[in-house]
Structures are given as structure tokens and as C-alpha cells.
Homo-oligomer: A and B are copies of this chain.
Amino acid sequence: MPRLKRQPDKAPPRERILQAARGLFYRDGINAVSVDAIASAAGTNKMTVYRHFSSKDELIAAYLDLLAAEGEAVWAEARARHPGDPDAQLRWLMRQVSQWASEANGRGCALANAAVELAERKHPARRIVETHKRHQRGRLVDLVREAGYARPERVADELFLLVEGARMCLQSVGRAGPGSRLFALTEELLGSAPRKKPLKVHTA
């Protein structure tokens, strides 16, 4: 789908509503934001919101889908920047994530925050978060394996927890806390984790 560059106020209503929801949901939390507030921020009214999204839950799901799609795009960018070099892709990803974590006004990962707010286990939007996070984790394991680490699941899980923990800590403790050391910790982990020995070629 080609992306049109438009002025925000010229964007079609569905897109304007989704972008308004995105800004408010992330800043204030999903439960704290009313459909009225979203309609007003999008320069429209509640009826128009409900014409495009049958319920607030559907709008939440669309918001999470959008975030997941953006998450996917980051992996594509890593590959595009360092084609055929999984080690460089991995380090680039960790640098990006560390930078974003420290820049995001301390509000951390929008998908993880949504999981905290969607306490009801069966909430339909939870599945989007879960699927995306599982997917990311699987991909991280693959990339760590391609980068030649001896125990890819272990290294990937540790990276995953460090990233999630840092984004959480930046919210609860702020920048003076351990969250700000994410990049140093992941760099050190990647530098010290054992690599596989190159395969020995058995000659007959």
C-alpha cells in the first residue's frame, strides 16, 4: 500500500482517529482515555468513531496491530542496513531499542503497557500483544543463532528480558535507574557469550 504524505488534518477519518487514539493511549494509558477524548483529538465526533470502529475494544485492537506492524518494520530495517550480517543486525537492533527506551518519555513499550492494562485474560486485544511478542522472541532466537552464538535460546531470552525490564524500569524508577544501562548490558552480554566453534569438516 503506497503511503501518501498528507497533512494530518487532510487524512481520512479512520486514519486520523487511529493516530489520535495512538497518541492518547500511549501517553495516558488505554483505560484512562475515553472515546470522546479520541474523537475530539481527531477533530471528529463519537458517531464517526463508531462508524469506523464498532467498539473501543476494536479501536484498541487496531492500535495494537499498528504497533505490531511497526515492530515488524524494525526487523526489516535491520536486514536492509546490514544485509547478510546477522551479528551487525543484532547489535543495530539492540542499539535502536536502547535508544528508543531512553527517548520514549519513560513510557516504555506500548504493547507491554497494554498487556498490563488489559488485565482480563480473555480480552481479544491481548492476543495481538502475545502473538507479536512470541513472534519477536522467535525471531530474536533465530538471529542470535545465525550470529553464531553457542546457546541461542539462552542469549536471546536474556536479551529479551533485559529489554523488557529496562523499558519497565524507566517507567517505575526513571532514568537514574538501571534501565538506562540497557545498551551497556546487552553489548557486554553479546561480547562475552560463547560462540560456536566453526564446524569441523570431516574429510573422508
Which chain B residue lies CB-closest to A158?
Answer: B185
Chain B residues, Cβ within 8 Å of A133? 169, 172-173, 177
In the complex, whether A42 has a CB less than 8 A from a CB of chain B is: no
Q: How far apart are A94's CB and chain B's nearest CB, in angstroms?
A: 13
Q: Which residues of B contact A158 (CB under 8 A)?
A: 162, 185
Q: In the assembly, how many copies of this chain are there? A: 2
Cβ contact within 8 Å between A119 and B29: yes
Nearest CB to that of A176 among chain B residues? B134
The residues of B that contact A182 with a CB separation of less than 8 Å are: 161
Known: A116-B108, A168-B165, A172-B129. A160 touches B178 (CB 8 A): yes
Contact indicator per residue, chain A 150-183, by CB within 8 Å of chain B (1) or not (0): 0000101110111111111101111011110110
**B137 touching A178, Cβ below 8 Å:** yes
Most buried by B among A117, A134, A156, A163: A117
